[in-house]
Structure 1
Amino acid sequence: METLKIDGSIGHGGGQILRSALALSAILGKPFEMHSIRKDRNQSGLRRQHLCGVLATAEICGAKLEGAELGSEDLLFIPKKIKAGTYQFAVDTGGSVSLVLQSVLLPLAVQKMKSHISVAGGTYTPQAPTAEFFAETLVPRMNQMGYSIQAEIARAGFFRIGGGLVKVDCCRKDTFMPVYWMNKETPRKCFIQIVTTQFPEKTTLKIAKLIREELSKMRNMIPCQLPRPKGRG
């Protein structure tokens, strides 16, 4: 099969093009070769977070790899058959759990057999979707399309310490369904979540007080303080 050539520096030149390529390659069974990965970033090439996504996707589909190492700007990915199962992955230095899941979730979610995924790392990291966004926004939308996904934020983890944990069960339903999100709905309420771990409670309460004071000036805003989750950071 012909190997697709991809320039990793196009567009924003970040890690998203790599994560999308990994997921689609695994699903379609089509190999790709990417060059200039994150070429124009301050730290070019594969960082730990991206490398974890590469290795995780390779594990679920038995892919052959070349160039899968820290700092590499070139990667060859030759997938085989996706296997549903139980998988555990970990991102060093508190890299984003949500971004790793972008590579492995869809390939496993299109399988009829259920998979169980655990990813350890950062649930709250700079320039990445939070674990709540993944669990409360992305997952429900995917379930509307015909997937069966359940996500649990078992433990919070902050950059750079990490220590967070997200657990996901996923498979596909009998049929996929079209979705229409063309009608814009007016938000009725907005909730603010404050998540801290190993942080002085008085400081957290002070932050909550300041938020309440600002939100009291706006309509339909209800601040919500959650219990502090277990985790490091």
Structure 2
Amino acid sequence: MSKPDPIHLPGTTLEGGGQLLRIAIGLSALTSTPIHISSIRGNRSGGGGLKLQHLMGVKWLAKACGASTAGAEKGSKTLQFWLQEPAYDGLIFKRQHEKAVMERTIDIGSPGAVGLVFQAILPYLLFSGHGEGDEEEEFFVTIKGGTNVGMSPSIDYIQQVLLPVLKLIGLPPITAKLHHRGWSTGRNEIGAVTFGVTPLRKGSCLPAFFLNERGDVITITATVLAPSSTKKDVHKEVEKQTREAFGAEAELNINFEDSYHAKRLYILLVATTTTSLHFGRDYLYDRKITSYDDAIPKLVAKAVAEVKRELDNGGSCVDEYMRDQLSVFQMLARGRSEVFGGLVGQEGGLVEGSLHARTAWWVGREMLGVVFGGGGACEGAGFVVGEGFVRREKVSGGVDGGVSDGDEDLGVVIERLSMEDT
């Protein structure tokens, strides 16, 4: 069988950053679909190109699935990724305590974002089909890099927001063990996190999932990393501002941890609802610190204002960042999944997906032929774990990079191929 031509994905599309790359290489590794990405991160200052955190995700996936690459080097603005040996298994198992365990370490070599590398490889870990037989087979992957850095999901957000929501949509439990933190503020430090992932069984599908009922907020949790001398002031400011913003009905939990540096201030604020939804917004303080009396209130105020804004979107069931991270699982699920982003001002129009979300949706249309509706619904491709498939017909239409005006279901036209035939 002849190989399909690579799908060309211009890296300047929509968000024009790393989101396009992460989604594309993850889907390429799963579906054996060759891709060619040009102008990588072309909308970023400094000319874009592959940074170490992007490169490590590319290299790990290539090794895991047996892909060949061209342009996989630091600073490269083009990348080709294609599978020469689709049946290749680069994930080496060993026996440990009567379980089949794969261990691997990804060392970014800088405080590059651990969370972004995890985003890139997670769909492959879950859907590649390495979980066979009656016993569970767990992957342990240790990623070394930045755990609390700007413009990326922190380890705290991953543990407290992302992983609980992934469990809620029907994925097997995922663990994240923090060994030590990695920072890009104060002074560069390399951290490490070990993720434990139990893959879906070969031949199974992720069923369609629905996040469309918010419920009431019952818990507010603040996690603050700051110098130990600020602990009393942090508690006072968090309690004051959260009570003013959210009232006294919800239980308030404050977790404080010494950041061990005068210039390191970080907060994650999480609102949990009666339907087990988690809304999280965080802030790594990026201003000059002249006094903690000034910085601490500003740190807390930003997180409180952003969570409140999320909850003020009528009926929203996920925060802005969660919505784009769930997109790839909507694409792969079987059936129509819904992730409701809310209404502007309680009774207004639908909350538009962020540029990151719309970029993910565009990649899904180009590679899988799936289309997202304005209300956050997507008829998934029904990806069967362990099977490869290639897109045979592109879905036309849609606006703003492939997003449909409404919620109508559009067919996904694909041809499934066994791993031996691709």
The match for 2:215 is 185
The match for 2:175 is 150
RMSD: 2.3
The match for 1:132 is 156
The match for 1:12 is 15
The match for 1:60 is 64
CA distance in structure 1 between the partners assigned to 2:232 and 2:145 by the alignment? 26
1:104 partnered with 2:107: no
Matches within 5 A, 1:28-107: 28-43=31-46, 44-79=48-83, 80=86, 81-84=88-91, 85-107=102-124
Amino acid at match of 2:71: G
**Structure 1 runs not aligned, ≥5 long:** none
CA distance in structure 2 between the partners assigned to 1:102 and 1:224 by the alignment? 27
Structure 1 residue 163 displacement after superposition: 1.9
CA distance in structure 2 between the partners assigned to 1:224 and 1:114 by the alignment? 33
> 138, 147, 151: which is aligned to 1:114?
138
8 Å contact from structure 1 (residues 94, 157) kept in 2: yes
Which segment drifts farther, 80-89 or 104-113? 80-89
Q: Under a length normalisation based on structure 2, what TM-score does the superposition of the two structures give?
A: 0.50
CA distance in structure 2 between the partners assigned to 1:125 and 1:215 by the alignment? 24
CA distance in structure 2 between the partners assigned to 1:29 and 1:207 by the alignment? 50
1:21 partnered with 2:21: no
Amino acid at match of 2:63: E
Identity %: 24
**Structure 2 runs not aligned, ≥5 long:** 92-101, 132-136, 265-422
The alignment of Structure 1 onto Structure 2 pairs a total of residues equal to 229
Distance 1:208 1:158, change over 3 A: farther
**Larger Rg over CA atoms:** 2
| Cα-to-partner distance string for 1:161-217 (whole Å, 9 max, x where unaligned) | 232211111123444333211112221121111124xx4x11344333332333343
Which segment drifts farther, 104-113 or 120-129? 104-113
Amino acid at match of 2:183: F
8 Å contact from structure 1 (residues 151, 166) kept in 2: yes
